[in-house]
Structure 1
Amino acid sequence: MFGDIALDMLKMMGHSGTVPGSISAQDVPNALSRLTSALSAKNAAEENLPTDVDEEEEQAEPAVSLGRRAFPLIELLKSAIKEECEVMWDNQ
């Protein structure tokens, strides 16, 4: 995952975005809820944008949506909830 996108997702979870960092086991459900809510809101906002596409954009590789990029993180948070464990991250 690209660093700037990862930081955005940390902030969507309600975290400050500091690296390294962690979320305690008791805070993981709230972090997951915040992340999924933020992704839904962002997706809804993007659907309302105009769809003017020029020829260069049409030939470019399709962009990977933030929701698709967030899928592994969402699954990790769900697993952490199930196992009742904290989530930690670093930039290595």
Structure 2
Amino acid sequence: MMKDLAITLLGIIGKHLGERGVIKADEMPAAIRKLEAAVQDAKKVHPAEATVHPGKDDEREEEPLHLGQRAYPFLDMLRESVKEGADVMWGV
């Protein structure tokens, strides 16, 4: 499930999940705007698409998670990176 989530969130901001990647500090403001817009659009335009369903390995019956619930921790990380002028990197 986490890989699918990462693919979705990175896709929204125009990035791809690979072994290594980076979101540069100068790309953060646009990435934040795109994610915020996607969360808002998902809430009002396509309620069914605003939901991330638990993976097949998750046997518990819970309410589906909404895109916003999954995007906000990532948004927080991007906002903190903007404050520090730091890049966000993975796989290094």
Same fold at TM > 0.5? yes
1:22 partner SS: strand
Higher strand share: 2
Does the 8 Å contact 1:14/1:34 carry over to 2?
Answer: no
Does the 8 Å contact 1:8/1:17 carry over to 2?
Answer: no
Provide the aligned length of Structure 1 versus Structure 2: 80
Structure 1, unpaired ranges of 5+: 50-59
Q: How does 1:25-44 map to 2 (within 5 A)?
A: 25-44=25-44
- 4+ long deviations beyond 3 Å: 16-19
**1:54 aligned residue:** none
| Deviation of the 1:48 alpha carbon | 8.2
Per chain length, whose mean CA-contact separation is higher, i.e. which structure has more relative contact order (CA < 8 Å, sep 6+)? 1
2:18 partner SS: coil
**1:15 aligned residue:** 15
| Deviation of the 1:89 alpha carbon | 2.0
Task: Give the Cα–Cα distance (whole angstroms) in 1 for the partners of residues 31 and 39 of structure 2.
Answer: 12
**1:61 aligned residue:** 62
- For the pair shown, the structure with the greater C-alpha radius of gyration is 1
**2:53 aligned residue:** none
TM-score computed with the length of structure 1 as normaliser: 0.74
Which has the larger displacement, 79-88 or 11-20? Answer: 11-20
Task: Give the Cα–Cα distance (whole angstroms) in 2 for the partners of residues 48 and 6 of structure 1.
Answer: 19
Structure 2, unpaired ranges of 5+: 50-60
Kindly report the root-mean-square deviation, in angstroms, between the aligned alpha carbons of the 2 structures: 2.0
Residue identity over aligned pairs, in percent, reads 30
